[in-house]
Amino acid sequence: MIWEDTAGAEKARLEASIPQEWRVTIPQDVKSTLSLPQDTNVLTEAELRITNASATELVKQLGAGQLTSVAVTTAFCKRAALAHQAVNCLHDFFPDAALARAKELDQYLAEHGKPVGPLHGLPISLKDQLRVKGRQTHMGYTAWINKVDQDSSVMVDLLERAGAVFYTKTSVPQSLMVCETINNVNGRTVNPRNKDWSCGGSSGGEGAIVGFRGAVLGIGTDIGGSIRVPAAFNFLYGLRPSHGRLPYAKMANSMEGQETIHSVVGPLGHTVADLRLFVGSVLSQQPWAYDPKVIPMPWRQSEEEAAKAKIASGQLTLGYYECDGNVLPHPPIVRGVKTVVNALQGAGHNVLPWEPYEHPYAVDLANKVYASDGGADVYGVLKESGEPAIPNFQDLINPSLPKLDLNEVWDAQLKKWHYQMAYLKAMEAFEKKHGRELDAIIAPITPTAAVRHNQFKYYGYATAINVLDFTSVTVPVTFADKGLDKVNDTFSPLTKMDEAVQAEYDPEAYHGAPVAVQIIGRRLTEEKTLAIAEEIGRLLGNEVAS
Amino acid sequence: MIWEDTAGAEKARLEASIPQEWRVTIPQDVKSTLSLPQDTNVLTEAELRITNASATELVKQLGAGQLTSVAVTTAFCKRAALAHQAVNCLHDFFPDAALARAKELDQYLAEHGKPVGPLHGLPISLKDQLRVKGRQTHMGYTAWINKVDQDSSVMVDLLERAGAVFYTKTSVPQSLMVCETINNVNGRTVNPRNKDWSCGGSSGGEGAIVGFRGAVLGIGTDIGGSIRVPAAFNFLYGLRPSHGRLPYAKMANSMEGQETIHSVVGPLGHTVADLRLFVGSVLSQQPWAYDPKVIPMPWRQSEEEAAKAKIASGQLTLGYYECDGNVLPHPPIVRGVKTVVNALQGAGHNVLPWEPYEHPYAVDLANKVYASDGGADVYGVLKESGEPAIPNFQDLINPSLPKLDLNEVWDAQLKKWHYQMAYLKAMEAFEKKHGRELDAIIAPITPTAAVRHNQFKYYGYATAINVLDFTSVTVPVTFADKGLDKVNDTFSPLTKMDEAVQAEYDPEAYHGAPVAVQIIGRRLTEEKTLAIAEEIGRLLGNEVAS
């Protein structure tokens, strides 16, 4: 069988999983599909209200028996079906299994008068790296189609124990190593706000489905921006926790066993409270008892409260940077950073310029690590089916690259440690100079607003933070505005990449595209960094529950 | 210059650093040098009392001004000088610098009426991997002699800030990868209890000097038993913390950047209270602000107290094993495990057999990792000076071994994770079966009591725990006894290694050699595992302050 047949059959199976009564017709000339749920009659008014609510609000009502899981699951299944028709975000869709599970949870609540756990009855979307026993995880590789998972990922088991309902697995780019979402099985996933824009990647299907509110919470992974970029491009919050905080065990991956820069797993959602609900629910299940890489560190309420006290008293000290020394962001992003700085300063906090310490060095190191096996792992899987590499990946990593020798990898690992150490020293110097603790750093997460297809060129704003293993939260800020964000006519390129990226800016084409920043905390500061991100959302007026 | 000249000059420099008035004559036929301090008149009665005290007691008196740091430092310098003459345990000795520092600390206390930190005035010995600015770290490599350190290790900086005084750097085996202590610069370090026995390794100099009470606390490192084995061979407690608990940054090492199995740093001492003092003092200095690999996890008093409450109520559940499936320990070690089991059962705790889950697999994996670069790093350093490899190392790793390909290393890393996961699952099954939490596991740390020279053959009891990254504490138990520990005449070898190890047992030769076990806790359970180790010491009557 040639690979096109296998991939085509899988795509047909997926399309057939959308029930007839949830199908709609979408005019070809529509750019934004965000209003599709309102504009069609697949969802009832009640279902629209449910899918527009926050996860925090939903679990409250589910736990109190004010909403049934069947009702909530039905609503999200319908909206996910619309999302897929609109933006092509699914790899797998299993509403029947989800509704059966929802029914069981409703019965449990009726019988026991209490929820099974903190996520009782809540549908959660899964990136197609998370395994669900009995289903498949093709991850965009033709060779992996129809391989049935014998075991669930630890994250899936724990969420299930906390009461979550699974109904979707969402699209990823081939290899997971790029920040747009396209593969030979499913094709391309686009942005619900404008089909000419990317939904981001590699957790692009999650970004798109949550952005469309076909899911209220999604789970992504991030080795070089793959949670933060789709969050940014879909006007969402996204948490890249530090390595060891949340369980990655038994998930599918590219380049498995590569540990020089770890991929991490984390949530995407509409509010920080929802991300906190997710993290707290997982930690309450003691993930370290199942995934040996997880640190035995429960949710530290005291850290959250200390941060909130500092916030309440207007005593935060934040650094910020607009340019990392490699590539200047487009005007909407520079304005986004300024907007956040102004909002915090307006609330009395200290916001001071942060000199991004040798980020170009970190970016080079990251690229070396990502390409360290010369693509052997990814190209090996492609060879199994005979399918070609997607151009987005081939441009980054291809078999002509030399594989690193083991001692070269050790050298890279040592360099990483030394770089991290030097970064801490730079932070210490900042703190000594200003006599204040540096609470977090405000920075671009991409140089562009939600990018046009095949235009994602520079990963460095994301990857430098992966090298540091710092906690980072994407915060949606505003939208590109052709009236405000004029072409930068004093621009003088720092690098060839800088020139190429800036040349892509077109005020008309990007008008309305989501603009985000990342809030960067030290390693394993999820409680504090989320609290600061939440406060920024509150100050901007973007943190709305529904 | 040929390497012998460089090494010889360094050895001569070291010997000249022992002041004339601290030199003694040791008869050739003496096996044990433990009583040398009492038998000679280098130390005063007061100095003998000081050096026989615990660190916990000493810091109390130092902080209260009841003892001066000059007095305490003088006492330990003298006793360290005797230790070196007895067992050849030093690589560097700097009493003048130490006494100058002690004087400053005494002045500080006099002026401010309070100690600088929790270790105020306390001398601590350093394995010759820890860097002290302005001194050298040759680590047994001729090529590294006379390279002056431009910066101190993070651990050294933090201990200094906590008030510690440094006066010694102690011997290690060439490469650090073996559990005896011999190199071409310093020769061999022997056991204070019997010069025919090894002091262990690689933190062998630390084991010997603390065993001799030339130091009250020592700092070792452990990638395959290198803290636990010298602790065992010198009747000491030794803590191998989990990776990420204590700062390793800026220390010298072999195979730097190798992170598949991390080397970790931890203390050796005479009491668990002293180890706790050490760990607590380091954590109080927030090592995670300086070493990015350290987890922001302060000493968790609540974990310690929960463990102590469980101990007090006789409610511990421990597993134990005598054989790992590869090599049966010598009779004294088997008796050591039984002694601990009996003591705990006698106190009402639950002690149940633990099936060591596929340890031979873990041991093979560890050996593969240790040899993964085919010795390129170590032999590269040897080549710089032209010195030969020590046989103990050459037997394990030599340039004829193939270097692993990067994807093979990733595969090993993945196997490690899966193994760790399977181990957690086995623990979960144990807990379900017995309806009780498994608090820790009692196991041999070596198959032999303090081993005869060049007879250390099997590392697996230690290395399986390094693969798991579990917290482990060496607990001294008893001494080999030719009257009790007869040759095992029903022995039937499991493996060739098993046969070779058991053949080495000779009741006469091992009579009196220290026997220890390790107490193994889950990852990052230093508080709990130390509490359990302390209770075992108390039950055995071995936990004595002086």
Per-position DSSP letters for A476-530, written without gaps between them: EEEE--TTT----TT---SSHHHHHHHHT--HHHHTT-EEEEEEEESTT-HHHHH
Closest partner CB to B417 (pick from A293, A296, A372): A293
- Does pLDDT of A160 surpass 90? yes
Chain B nearest-CA distance from A545, in A, is 32
Assess if residue B292 is contained within a domain: no
> For chain B, which residues score pLDDT lower than 50?
545-546
B254 known ligand binder: no
Assess if residue B294 is contained within a domain: no
Picking from A23, A50, A289, the residue whose alpha carbon sits closest to that of residue B421 is A289
- Cα atoms in the 13 Å half-sphere on the side-chain side of B103: 6
pLDDT digits (tens, 9 = 90+) for A446-485: 999 999 999 999 999 999 999 999 999 999 999 999 999 9
Q: Given this model, what pLDDT does residue A545 score? A: 39
Q: Given this model, what pLDDT does residue A546 score? A: 35
Torsion angles phi and psi, residue A466, rounded to 5: -65, -40
Average pLDDT along chain A? 97
Question: At A398, is the pLDDT very low, low, confident or very high (cuts 50, 70, 90)?
Answer: confident
Q: Which of residues 130-169 of B touch A (CB under 8 A)?
A: none
- Cα atoms in the 13 Å half-sphere on the side-chain side of A285: 25
Question: At A542, is the pLDDT very low, low, confident or very high (cuts 50, 70, 90)?
Answer: confident
Tell me how far apart the alpha carbons of residues A54 and A417 are, in angstroms, rounded to a whole number: 39
Contact status, residue B479 vs residue B513, Cβ threshold 8 Å:
yes
DSSP state of B189: -
Positions at the binding site of A: 176, 202, 223-226
Picking from A94, A96, A233, the residue whose alpha carbon sits closest to that of residue A169 is A94
User: Which two structure tokens, joined as six digits, stand for A300?
Assistant: 């530290």
Which residues of A participate in catalysis according to the annotation?
127, 202, 226
- What's the domain count of chain A? 1
CB-based contact, B401 to chain A, within 8 Å: no
Assess if residue B333 is contained within a domain: yes
**In this complex, do B256 and A414 lie within 8 Å of one another by their Cβ atoms?**
yes
Tell me how far apart the alpha carbons of residues A293 and A167 are, in angstroms, rounded to a whole number: 27
Within 8 A of B411 by CB-CB distance, chain A residues are 257
Assess if residue B13 is contained within a domain: yes
DSSP state of B20: G
Picking from B277, B218, B343, B270, the residue whose alpha carbon sits closest to that of residue B514 is B270
CB-based contact, B426 to chain A, within 8 Å: no
Q: Which of residues 194-223 of A touch B (CB under 8 A)?
A: none
Tell me how far apart the alpha carbons of residues A299 and A280 are, in angstroms, rounded to a whole number: 6
Picking from B110, B117, B125, the residue whose alpha carbon sits closest to that of residue B76 is B125
Q: Which of residues 477-536 of A touch B (CB under 8 A)?
A: 522-525
Tell me how far apart the alpha carbons of residues A278 and A162 are, in angstroms, rounded to a whole number: 10
Assess if residue B174 is contained within a domain: yes
**In this complex, do B377 and A420 lie within 8 Å of one another by their Cβ atoms?**
no
Chain B nearest-CA distance from A392, in A, is 23
pLDDT digits (tens, 9 = 90+) for A326-348: 999 999 999 999 999 999 999 99
- Does pLDDT of A91 surpass 70? yes
Picking from A252, A208, A232, the residue whose alpha carbon sits closest to that of residue A456 is A232
Angle at A485 between CA A482 and CA A489, to 5 degrees: 115
pLDDT digits (tens, 9 = 90+) for B232-280: 999 999 999 999 999 999 999 999 999 999 999 999 999 999 999 999 9
Torsion angles phi and psi, residue A266, rounded to 5: -165, 170
Assess if residue A71 is contained within a domain: yes
User: Residue A218's beta-bridge partner residues?
Assistant: A125, A268
Tell me how far apart the alpha carbons of residues B427 and A286 are, in angstroms, rounded to a whole number: 14
Q: Given this model, what pLDDT does residue B546 score? A: 35
Q: Which residue of B has its CA nearest to A295?
A: B524
Positions at the binding site of A for substrate: 176, 202, 223-226
* Amino acid making up residue A423: Y
pLDDT digits (tens, 9 = 90+) for B137-183: 999 999 999 999 999 999 999 999 999 999 999 999 999 999 999 99
Neighbours of A295 (CB within 10 A): 19
**In this complex, do B410 and A373 lie within 8 Å of one another by their Cβ atoms?**
yes
- Relative to beta strand B123-127, strand A514-521 is unpaired
Torsion angles phi and psi, residue A125, rounded to 5: -90, 150
Tallying the residues shown for chain B, one arrives at 546
DSSP state of B289: G
CB-based contact, B423 to chain A, within 8 Å: yes
Q: Given this model, what pLDDT does residue B543 score? A: 57
Best of A397, A407, A416, A468 to disrupt the B interface (most B CBs within 10 Å) is: A407
Contact status, residue B359 vs residue B460, Cβ threshold 8 Å:
yes
ipTM over 0.95: yes
pLDDT digits (tens, 9 = 90+) for A218-261: 999 999 999 999 999 999 999 999 999 999 999 999 999 999 99
Assess if residue B308 is contained within a domain: yes
Tell me how far apart the alpha carbons of residues B537 and B308 are, in angstroms, rounded to a whole number: 14
User: Residue A124's beta-bridge partner residues?
Assistant: A166
Tell me how far apart the alpha carbons of residues B407 and B423 are, in angstroms, rounded to a whole number: 24
B176 known ligand binder: yes
Residue A126 CB contacts under 8 Å (≥ 6 apart), including other chains: A132, A156, A166, A168, A169, A170, A218, A219
> What CATH number did the domain enclosing A244 receive?
3.90.1300.10
* Amino acid making up residue A131: R
Closest partner CB to B407 (pick from A291, A373, A414): A373
Q: Given this model, what pLDDT does residue A543 score? A: 57
Chain A nearest-CA distance from B298, in A, is 11
- Does pLDDT of A544 surpass 70? no
Q: Which residue of A has its CA nearest to B297?
A: A297
- Does pLDDT of A56 surpass 70? yes
User: Which two structure tokens, joined as six digits, stand for A228?
Assistant: 């933060």
Domain residues for A269?
3-24+37-540
**In this complex, do B417 and A258 lie within 8 Å of one another by their Cβ atoms?**
no
Within 8 A of B464 by CB-CB distance, chain A residues are none
* Amino acid making up residue A429: A
* Amino acid making up residue A376: A
Q: Given this model, what pLDDT does residue A401 score? A: 84
**In this complex, do A256 and B403 lie within 8 Å of one another by their Cβ atoms?**
no
**In this complex, do B523 and A289 lie within 8 Å of one another by their Cβ atoms?**
no
Q: Which residue of A has its CA nearest to B437?
A: A289
Q: Which residue in the block uniquely carries the two structure tokens 């190798």? A: B258
Chain B nearest-CA distance from A39, in A, is 48
Contact status, residue A126 vs residue A219, Cβ threshold 8 Å:
yes
Which residues of B participate in catalysis according to the annotation?
127, 202, 226
Assess if residue B545 is contained within a domain: no
Best of B406, B437, B465 to disrupt the A interface (most A CBs within 10 Å) is: B406
DSSP A39-54: HSSSS-HHHHHHHHS-
User: Which two structure tokens, joined as six digits, stand for B159?
Assistant: 């201990």
Within 8 A of A250 by CB-CB distance, chain B residues are 421
CB pairs under 8 A between A and B: 122
